[in-house]
Structure 1
Amino acid sequence: MTETIGEFSEGHLLNVAKGLVEKKTKDSKILDAELESRIPKFDVGELSIGRVLGRGGFCVVKEVNKIVLQKGGDDGSGARKSDDEHYIHNIVQDRAFMAQHCIRQGKDFRYAIKTVQDASRKDPQVYVNAVVDLAVEARFLAIVRHPNIIKMRAMEARDPFHGRYFIMLDKLYDIMPQRLKKWKSRKKSGLKLFDMKGKKKQAFWVERLTIAYDIACALSYLHGLSILYRDLKPDNIGFDVRGDVKIFDFGLAKELDESKILEDGTYNLTGDTGSLRYMAPEVALGKTYNETADTYSFSILCWQIFAIETPYEGYNVAMFEKSVIKGGRRPKVNDKWGEKLCSLLGSCFVDNPKRPSMLDVCELLREEINILSDEEIVDILDTSRKSQMSANG
């Protein structure tokens, strides 16, 4: 019997979602059906699903405890033999390889699946939005390759429009909200940020600068592909088993069509998209915007990483709209962060698209890190090198 959601059948809603995804992606110049076809496919019956790792607005992420390939399929006899960590993290993994390496060093599970959560199946519009977001995310993740963007390792064997679709991702071991809590606890314990001495103070500051840099590099990479992320916030920043930054959740990502650019360099795009606390004013007001909307979101998140405080804490929606969106209020920068960083944040805080590019932001942050570090780390932070390393991953 066909399930109903509200007054509609699930089949009808899935057809609606399919039409919306086709409309959103039909003019894409970067999405690649051939690349998508190469992504390994699994049936849910091949997976042993464990605990819930996290929930978002539409979806739930769960741990994958075991992969058992179905008989008649690839039984793993031709699996790659390398256990090298670089190989595992950066090379495209086939079904047999994933089944053999589901557990890392005998203790940690490597993978997680993301699927529409049951709560999203109670309202027709919410359900359609959930299916669309997951399908769009899968298409973008099939083509993006960057060390600071989460890797999609596999997907459900059928298309996204049958009702129980999932994508398989690398498991994350920490997320930014948890990291911020740890930093805040460290701060409250008496280890004041600017009262620390010597290398301990510098290391704590460089740690946060480097995280900001990695996020900036990921955004710069996306903008180079004409992808606008549109949902930057702590909840969408995680850390893998090695502690590397990973941006995830691409449900609101949008490919910019340069043939539709306006004279002022902006585009007619959907307004009120993303999280209000981090949303650029022009997006919140329904005006035209471009990739520097991500630059604004980054500047608010960057301030939060530096200050270890929640921006606009205690504001309700009405206060936020009046003071921040319309009134131009911004978080107060700390002079102790240095003139260049304070100036950078100020230039990103402006309420119009005339902001620095994320490439410019990357370059300034890298300069600051190199100045403060004991050794030259250009090679370590060189995003082009890191991107090349993971080009096949």
Structure 2
Amino acid sequence: MTNDRQRAQDLLNRADKILAAVDDSYIIKERGHRPRPMPMFRHTEIELGRTLGAGGFGVVNEVTAFDLEKEPEISTEGEKEEESKKEDGDSKKVAISNTPGGDLYEDDAHYEVSVARELMANRCLRRGVTRYALKRLHDNLSEVEKARGMIDLAVEAKYLSVVWHPNIVKMRGVAAGSYLNQDFFIVMDRLFGTLDQRINAWKKLLSKNSGCCCGFGKNHEVFMQVLKERMIVAYDLAVAFMYLHENRLVYRDIKPENIGFDVRGDVKVFDFGLCKDLEPRLKCKDGGYGYKLTGRAGSLPYMVRS
């Protein structure tokens, strides 16, 4: 037990350095994608529904309602962004004006921090379906797992406040207080099913509409519809990862369980806890194209041995 506690403390002692590396990442320092301000919520302000999914350290629940109290201050990253915008004489639609490429959606008004909390509370349900999900740490983690989970969730929050792409899940709010806290959580758009579930549905649909003799008699219309859906998903995922790679970010945990679909059916990449900036100092010295990163990061069945 003492060894586990010491290992956990050693991890947390390195946490500030890990989070500082995110702040110094290429996408922020060179591309100028400053962190968007995020509305902050207390645990007591959010009512949770059923569990939507769980991973190694985190669990995701649907948000059924917001019961707002006195408004806490916006996140630290948001304060920096707001101050910067005020200096430029544009303190109103802070995050919308920071949207790379100008891709605006109906829900992007949530990022106008002055009204975000109220908007989210009033629009928590869409035709009786929850619009948001909350990600937090498991309650039954060991000391070491808790430390790793705290760091991963803080890293994820920092990157999600910076990246902006139609096929990457959008973070809508964070817990009031420090990012590096066992009670920290993030609020994001709710997703409906994952890619592994969609793949199984495609298989069943094709099997149901196939003939008995090597595919002879297959329902061609269904076959073409499934093929079209799969091609669109593949294309959108390729574009999302191209966006990350252009910004020198490596995701490090690609798997069907980390790819979901929003209410419109658009594919979204989520779970950025292992995301890493490819700093020049990490480049291999042997003249190759590789980078020296942490070994065995990701999900074992999907790792590629180099």
The TM-score normalised by the length of structure 1 is 0.61
1:154 paired with 2:173, answer yes
Count of aligned pairs between the two proteins: 267
1:90-169 residue pairs with structure 2 within 5 A? 92=111, 94-105=116-127, 107-120=128-141, 123-169=142-188
Report the alpha carbon displacement of residue 61 of structure 1 after superposing the two structures with TM: 0.3
Deviation track 1:129-180 (CA, whole Å, cap 9, x = no partner) reads: 1111101101110001001100001000111223200000100111112212
- Tell me how far 1:47 sits from its aligned partner: 0.8
* Preserved CA contact (<8 Å) 1:135 1:160: yes
The structure 2 residue matched to 1:203, chosen from 219, 225, 229, is 225
Question: Does the aligned pair in 2 maintain the 1:36–1:143 contact within 8 Å?
Answer: yes
**Structure 1 gap segments, 5+ residues each:** 75-84, 283-393
Q: Residue 327 of structure 1 corresponds to which residue in structure 2? A: none
> Residue 53 of structure 1: CA displacement?
0.8
Measured after TM superposition, the shift of residue 18 of structure 1 is 3.2
Runs of 4+ in structure 1 deviating by more than 4 angstroms, as ranges, are 4-7, 9-15, 31-35, 192-195
* Residue 71 of structure 1: how far off its partner (Å): 3.7
Change beyond 3 A, Cα 1:73–1:140? closer
Cα RMSD for the two superposed structures: 3.1
In structure 2, the CA distance between the partners of 1:90 and 1:279, relative to structure 1 (3 Å rule), is farther
Q: Which has the higher contact order (CA 8 A, sep 6+)?
A: 2
Distance 1:246 1:90, change over 3 A: farther
Structure 1 match to 2:305:
281
> What is the one-letter code of the residue matched to 1:25?
V
For 2:4 and 2:11, how far apart are their aligned partners in 1? 14
Partner of 1:149, secondary structure, is: coil
Map of 1:26-105 to 2, 5 A cutoff? 27-31=24-28, 35-36=34-35, 38-71=37-70, 86-88=105-107, 92=111, 94-105=116-127
Give 1:274 shift. 1.4
2:273 to 243, 251, 270: 251
Q: How does 1:243-322 map to 2 (within 5 A)?
A: 243-262=265-284, 263-282=287-306
> Are 1:224 and 2:246 matched, yes or no?
yes
Question: Contact conserved, 1:61 with 1:113, CA < 8 A, in 2?
Answer: yes
C-alpha displacement at 1:98, in angstroms?
1.0
Q: Distance in 2 between matches of 1:37 and 1:167?
A: 14
Equivalent in the alignment of 2:259 = 237
State the distance in 1 between where 2:249 and 2:71 align: 40
Give, in angstroms, the shift of residue 125 of structure 1: 1.8
- Conserved? CA contact 1:239–1:245, under 8 Å: yes
- How far does residue 22 in structure 1 lie from its aligned partner after superposition? 3.5
CA contact (8 A) 2:27 2:33 kept: no
Amino acid at match of 2:279: D
Structure 1 residue 5: Cα displacement: 9.2
Amino acid at match of 1:169: M
Separation in 2, partners of 1:72, 1:269:
40
CA apart distance, 1:198: 3.7
Secondary structure of the structure 2 residue equivalent to 1:113: strand
1:171 aligns with 2:190: yes
Q: Shift of residue 40 of structure 1?
A: 1.1
The answer to whether the 8 A contact 1:230-1:252 is kept is yes
Distance 1:261 1:218, change over 3 A: same
